[in-house]
Structure 1
């Protein structure tokens, strides 16, 4: 009788092990798919699709519109604006300049087609902001330059839904 219990016990253990493995795979499947989807979303290079601006009573605003997540943004004063790659000067009048650099980012898709629909070089006549230019879309960096007649005091904000970077440059109330 004892020898009959062993094969039966082995079958029960084998069935239980199979059931546990199946349950474990079923539970791991969606989590793995979700984490793979999250990592795919995060690894695709964000696309810069537009740059726009607006004047308000106490500040001028630059907005950079994105598809995907918001990359690292660095805004810094520079002594002059130059085009990435060539180093040629950007023809925007001004005495003070800000460089807005996004990385990783692209203004083109994987096929090399342009997705950026904003201005390449634009004179602007706001109280503080006098011009904006896209100065680079090169090796994972998208760069913009902004021109001012007086030293800009600025703040940078990241907004979501839709994804965008906002640079506000303060000025005295004009309203």
Structure 2
């Protein structure tokens, strides 16, 4: 009987100590997670160039390379307002980076590239920054003919590239 009571007491005490340890450990682990969060990548520039067999769009980044989607769209619109982007063309690509920002924590722009630019290359006819909102930075590219493209990230320094075949 004494052994049964002793076992119950040890089990109860162990449970209380375990629960107390978990309660004290939770806030510490939550604060350590917050301090190790990776900052959102910043979009700082967009540029382009013409080559012998392709045109190239380069989006320069600070931080790591975010997830990027390149999608053919019927029309380019500004994020948020939905207003059409005034770039001439018959075919368009939307380039969306997430997570990403073109502004710092104080809300100041860190993006130094073009906001809306006509371009006179073989395929690429225009480039516009169409959004910087809630973790997404979006660009639109305009073409006269259907673009055949290859998209990829390059590192050191971080940048995202879209090559459009002639």
Counterpart CA distance in 2 for 1:91 and 1:39 is 42
Per-residue Cα deviation, 1:9-42 (whole angstroms, up to 9, x for no partner): xxxxxxxxxxxxxxxxxxxxxxxxxx97x943x3
The total of aligned residue pairs comes to 135
User: Runs of at least 4 residues of structure 1 off by over 6 A?
Assistant: none
Counterpart CA distance in 2 for 1:165 and 1:132 is 15
TM-score scaled to structure 1, two decimals? 0.75
Query: Which of these residues, 28, 36, 43, is aligned with residue 48 of structure 1?
Result: 43
Counterpart CA distance in 1 for 2:36 and 2:43 is 20
User: What pairs with 1:120-135 in structure 2 (closer than 5 Å)?
Assistant: 120-135=115-130
User: Unpaired segments of 5 or more residues in structure 2?
Assistant: 1-31
Aligned to 1:169, the other structure's residue is in SS state strand
Q: CA deviation at 1:130?
A: 0.1
Query: Which of these residues, 129, 147, 151, is aligned with residue 152 of structure 1?
Result: 147
Counterpart CA distance in 1 for 2:154 and 2:140 is 20
Question: What's 1:18 paired with?
Answer: none
Aligned to 1:100, the other structure's residue is in SS state strand
User: What pairs with 1:18-167 in structure 2 (closer than 5 Å)?
Assistant: 39-40=36-37, 42=38, 44-167=39-162
> Greater CA radius of gyration, 1 or 2?
1
User: Unpaired segments of 5 or more residues in structure 1?
Assistant: 1-34
Question: What's 1:9 paired with?
Answer: none
Quote the RMSD (CA, aligned, Å). Answer: 1.6
Per-residue Cα deviation, 1:80-116 (whole angstroms, up to 9, x for no partner): 0000000000000000000000000000000001000
Counterpart CA distance in 2 for 1:143 and 1:61 is 17
